[in-house]
Amino acid sequence: MTEHNDLPAFARDAINLASPRLGAEAIFASDDFFAPKDRLLQDQAPVFIADKFDDHGKWMDGWESRRRRDAGHDHCIVRLGIQGEIEGVDIDTSHFTGNYPRAAALEACLSDGPPDAETQWTEIVPATPLGPDSHHFIPVANRGTYNHLRFNIYPDGGVARLRVYGEPVRDLKGHNGSDVVELSALSNGGRVIGYNDAHYGSVWSLLLAGRGVNMGDGWETRRRREPGNDWIIVQLGAPGTVERIEVDTAHFKGNYPDRCSLQGALIGSGTNESVITQSIFWDELLGQQKLQADHIHLFEGNAIKALGPVSHVKLNIFPDGGISRLRIFGQPQT
C-alpha cells in the first residue's frame, strides 16, 4: 500500500473530481464483460476475494473488458462530479496481475452534454505503460478546465480504480440576484488550502453537499495533548460578503469540538503557504461559539462581523475534534 507521505503533491492535496460522492459517473464503456465500469470510480480501496466468481468468471473489483480478438482498444467515458482543472491522475491496477492493460491514455473535454462523435478531445495523459497490481501516479501538463474524460486502455483488460485529482472551477463573479450563494461549496469552486491536522476523514468532505453519512465523512483531528487549538483554511469559490454560516457536527458525539470561531480576509495574491502564515493576523468573522454534538449550528445577523468581502476563511476549533460540514453563504463580489 502507498504511504500518504509517499504520494505526489496532487494526490495528497487536490480533490478526486471523479469521486461518486461528487456525482461522478462512468457513463459508457466499449466493453465491461468481466467487471462493470461503475466499479472503476468507487471511493473505497479495491479488494481481492480469492474464491468469488460470478456468471462471467472471476469477480474483480474494478472495470474489466473481455479479451479482444481484433486490432482495436477499449475505452470508458467518465463524467466528472465537478468540472475542474486536472493536476494528475492515479491509474490503479491493484489485484490485476495477468489481466491488466499494457498501457493507458486519457483525453478530456468540456461539454454541455454527453460527448458524441463531434466532440473535440484533448490528450492530457499520453499512452503510458502500466504494470500489474500497482498505482500509477501521472501528472497532467495540459491543465484546461474539463468535465468529461475518455479513458483508453491498450488493448483490453482490467483497471481497479481511476482517480482524477484537481481543483473545482466555477466562475461566480457574474452571479446576479438577491439569493445568497454557498461560497464555500466544492461545486462552486471552494477548496481547502491548509490545516494543522487531519488525522481522520477527508478534509475536502467538509465542503460537500448534504449532511455527512457517518463519522468518517468530515474533518477530524487527533486528540490534542498540548496547548492550542486546531484549524483549517478554506478559499471561497469567489470573494463575497458573508451573510450566514453553518457548522455541522453530524455524527460527532463524543469527539465534537467544544467551541469554534472563524476568521476572514480578502487576499489579492500569494501562495497557499503565505496565506497560511498571514492567517494568524486575520480579523474575526465569528467569535467563539459553543458547539453541540450531532447538530447543525446556524450563525447569522449580528453574530457575523461586518468585514466586507472575504476570499478566505479560517475555521478554528477548540481544542480539537470533528466537524462534518462547513457552509459559508453570501453575496459574491461583482
Tens-digit pLDDT profile for residues 150-209: 999 999 999 999 999 999 988 776 565 567 899 999 999 999 999 999 999 889 999 999
Residues 6+ apart with CB under 8 A from 165: 10, 11, 14, 15, 16, 17, 86, 87, 88, 89, 90
**What global pTM score does this model have?**
0.86
Question: How many percent of the chain have pLDDT more than 70?
Answer: 96
- Section 38-52 average pLDDT: 96
**pLDDT-derived band at 1, boundaries 50, 70, 90:** very low
Mean pLDDT of 326-332: 96
pLDDT band with cut points at 50, 70 and 90 for residue 141: confident
Q: Find the mean pLDDT for residues 319-327.
A: 98
User: How many angstroms separate the first and last alpha carbons of the chain?
Assistant: 47
- Whether residue 63 has pLDDT greater than 70: yes
Q: Yes or no: say if 248 and 215 are a contact pair by the CB < 8 Å rule.
A: no
Sequence-ordered alpha helix ranges (H) in 136-175: none
Q: Which three cell numbers stand for residue 327?
A: 457552509
What tens digit of pLDDT does each residue of 226-281 get?
999 999 999 999 999 999 999 999 999 999 999 999 999 999 888 999 999 999 99
Burial class, 184, CB count within 10 angstroms (exposed 0-12 / middle 13-18 / buried 19+) = buried
Mean of per-residue pLDDT scores for the chain: 94
Q: pLDDT category, 302, cuts 50, 70, 90? A: very high
Cis peptide before 129 (omega within 30 of 0): no
What are the grid coordinates assigned to 333, written together?
463580489
- Is it true that the peptide bond before 239 is cis, omega within 30 degrees of 0? no
